[in-house]
Structure 1
């Protein structure tokens, strides 16, 4: 299982579908082992999924090779459009990890280079106001880690600029919302000091000036702006708390005794454990309304965020038939259509950010990446 930013910064892409949301992954894995195919063959399973080509024949999509010039192994971290991306590339000898821009036209361009022995990570990519921002983390001489914040224009030209030297103990959730650009300021969260759970809300203007930090009790993680989420007490009849970081208004999702939930700003996904080892995956609004069964027990969640764009829940197949070496089915449940659509039959790694879903196919030196602009689908 691959989690967090390390996969984005170093390992060759996609020897398995990338699982994020550690708790959900562990629960789903245990659930799969617990349930036999005969127990779950027809339990809450929706009709067969249509293909993306039949539902959205004009969907904007593009591709990028997993191997760039010079033998660089490339993993996209963010797409500006279906033909331009920025991500991490590992040198052929494994000695260096670079942040690399792959534009619409022209050759790929190295933006940053770090020695692999410092375990570098590039994560939290976001865009807004003509800028792309990200966090860069690497081991320092003392063996600790320092995280800095960088920006570059959305044209991916010129040199990147460091705007924060030490961003604190940045909270990595592997979410598309780790960093956010709002009203000319870049926002992120970090773990607070001390033994008691607390969260630091950081922000700076995009030139690095006017730094601000606010410390809140509890362990908050960013979801879609302006919401923060705390799921510490979510399991087995507990609650997920959401808070508007601007107004301080809170909302709660109360989980049922059989629910194992994860929430975004609007929707919650719940793995439901039923008696007799059968179950399924439900999607329900944070206020408890519009609950519906979207999948049986044989699915996983390749991206952390729930119901991206308030419309699509990203799923991957985990039933025995999908364990073949060529990859797993990648699907989205479309809330607007109340239907599941197959995006790819052979995904080995999947990611989402900024309205784009991208996935890899193939293994070793035959990896390629395909991107679909979910935000353009109607």
Structure 2
């Protein structure tokens, strides 16, 4: 799971019964997955230095690797945009970000412009949906009173913040939906339409951790001492399929990129993997990796240490 900064920026109904998981296969030799460049001959993995000219570590926060964090500073194209104790994370397609305790910002003519300081107690899961840009507006979730969640929305040009209060601890997912934020608790998950407050309950067993978008849910089936398997399914419980066994776990918070690709770690082989829902194909991205980030149409990961860091990136939209 990424150890990136905790501030995030963005790019940017009926109940369903989950099918009970089938028997877990007896452990055997770990399956060998093809390299992503073999599974998709046109796949390209690019690399960029992870240190700025002065040697400071640069942690990319945008899919094109142009913008990132370095020593508490927000850096875009080599220039410092914001400096101070705040932490940053950027969206897939828009330079819009939140600074906890300060406000919501955007880039305007190479200058950081405050959109609003009325941000509340922001909910951050280090997901690409922590802040969502849509219809010339920005939305994010904030913790509300007595276990409720506030979905806050403001125009990109600023103005009054509109707040929708929803019951339960929620986080934003693909707009206009929110989903259960307590993904480390077993049992059912919830999808909520922010516009109408309509709820869809995705039922799960007490030994299942379920994390959903409106299109797909990731299900980690637990057993004593750890995970037994990892599945994907539709929110209505259909199209459930086993992705892998006990060695497989999510590498990033988001269920899928582009509603198609899951970014995973296979601990049994020490590999960073990509699973294609359309093909039912698991392929290896890397056998050595440190920090892993996935956002928009890109996955990027680090190798090396702070004195000689390298970032590797792949555009899954090209696969």
List per-residue Cα deviations over 1:314-334 (Å, max 9, x = no partner).
111223x53xxxxxx210111
Measure how far apart 1:260 and its partner are.
2.5
List per-residue Cα deviations over 1:154-197 (Å, max 9, x = no partner).
xxx5212111124111101111101111111111111113xx10
* Mapped partners of 1:307, 1:209: distance in 2: 33
Q: Give the equivalent residue in structure 1 for 2:120.
A: 168
List per-residue Cα deviations over 1:116-140 (Å, max 9, x = no partner).
xx4x2113x2255xx4201123xxx
- 1:293 aligned onto 2:293: no
Measure how far apart 1:264 and its partner are.
2.5
Measure how far apart 1:61 and its partner are.
4.2
Measure how far apart 1:271 and its partner are.
1.9
Q: Which has the higher helix share?
A: 1
Segments of structure 2 that go 5 or more residues without pairing to the other structure are 9-25
Q: Give the equivalent residue in structure 1 for 2:81.
A: 111
- 1:87 aligned onto 2:71: no
Which of 169, 185, 188 lines up with 2:137 in the alignment? 185
- 1:136 aligned onto 2:99: yes
* Mapped partners of 1:4, 1:248: distance in 2: 32
Q: Give the equivalent residue in structure 2 for 1:198.
A: 148
Q: Give the equivalent residue in structure 2 for 1:19.
A: none
Q: Give the equivalent residue in structure 1 for 2:5.
A: 5
Measure how far apart 1:257 and its partner are.
4.4
Moved more, 335-344 or 265-274: 265-274
TM-score, with length taken from structure 1:
0.73
Q: Give the equivalent residue in structure 1 for 2:33.
A: 49
> Contact conserved, 1:40 with 1:278, CA < 8 A, in 2?
no
Q: Give the equivalent residue in structure 2 for 1:122.
A: 88
Say which SS state the counterpart of residue 288 (structure 2) adopts: strand
Q: RMSD value over aligned CA atoms? A: 2.6
> Contact conserved, 1:170 with 1:188, CA < 8 A, in 2?
yes
* Paired residues, number: 303
* Mapped partners of 1:361, 1:4: distance in 2: 15
> Contact conserved, 1:147 with 1:169, CA < 8 A, in 2?
no
Q: Give the equivalent residue in structure 1 for 2:296.
A: 354
> Contact conserved, 1:133 with 1:150, CA < 8 A, in 2?
yes
Which of 188, 205, 210 lines up with 1:256 in the alignment? 205
Q: Give the equivalent residue in structure 2 for 1:65.
A: 49
List per-residue Cα deviations over 1:217-241 (Å, max 9, x = no partner).
21111111111012559855x3111
List per-residue Cα deviations over 1:10-33 (Å, max 9, x = no partner).
xxxxxxxxxxxxxxxxxxxxxxxx
Say which SS state the counterpart of residue 346 (structure 1) adopts: coil
Matches within 5 A, 1:272-283: 272-273=221-222, 279-283=228-232
TM-score, with length taken from structure 2:
0.86
- 1:152 aligned onto 2:95: no
- 1:344 aligned onto 2:290: no
> Contact conserved, 1:134 with 1:150, CA < 8 A, in 2?
yes
Segments of structure 1 that go 5 or more residues without pairing to the other structure are 9-38, 91-96, 103-107, 138-145, 323-328
* Mapped partners of 1:228, 1:240: distance in 2: 11
